[in-house]
A and B are shown apart, each in its own frame.
Chain A
Amino acid sequence: DVKVTQSSRYLVKRTGEKVFLECVQDMDHENMFWYRQDPGLGLRLIYFSYDVKMKEKGDIPEGYSVSREKKERFSLILESASTNQTSMYLCASSWADRIYYGYTFGSGTRLTVV
């Protein structure tokens, strides 16, 4: 069964901490994505990557950075966590040339910044 695995289901961090969210996929997908999901705001794209070491800003990149050193791994970094970054974070992956298969999502990481 194909999988996207997010390293933590729940995280609690303090304001100002540097936070790493890790995502690994085992499907050899070229594209990987980070979204955050908040009530009433839906899914909002933070960053995406279409190849190793390639990254593009999404709709809400401020306060975040990403790293993709290997094809299967895509990390989201909160440089200095703030309370307004409390959210559900979702990683997804997809093939570049077979969009009709859609995305495969991870289970999500519920991050609370206190």
Chain B
Amino acid sequence: EDQVTQSPEALRLQEGESSSLNCSYTVSGLRGLFWYRQDPGKGPEFLFTLYSAGEEKEKERLKATLTKKESFLHITAPKPEDSATYLCAVPGLIQGAQKLVFGQGTRLTINP
């Protein structure tokens, strides 16, 4: 069974304090890993797709990396506007449709 586990559940940082979020997965043949950002009361917003181990993607203060067993979302010198829940997901495969299996998310709070 495809499973995605994110840690920590919640993380509080001071503005400018860099850190990393973890996403570990068990899949039967990785077909990509996705990172989303979700603001309170809104739908998730796509950030990155990582398709193979060793791949890295960057967007502003965020950098996502991928190994064969896990992905990290590194946040460098975060600002309060980076506060959000970050979700990762991997594709499963069911009867011709493609279902993303989501982790529980990490709720990130950046204090000014």
Contact = CB atoms under 8 A, between A and B. Distances in A.
Interface of A: 4, 31, 33, 40-43, 45, 48-50, 56, 58, 88, 90, 92, 94, 96, 99-108, 110
Interface of A is mostly: strand
Interface of B: 31-32, 34, 36, 41-46, 49, 51, 87, 89, 91, 94-100, 102-105
A103 B94 contact: no
Contacts, number: 63
Contacts of A110: 41
Contact of B97 (A31, A100, A101, A106): A31
Most chain B C-beta atoms within 10 Å of own C-beta, residue among A41, A45, A49, A58: A45
Given A43-B87, A108-B41, A110-B41, A99 B46 contact: no
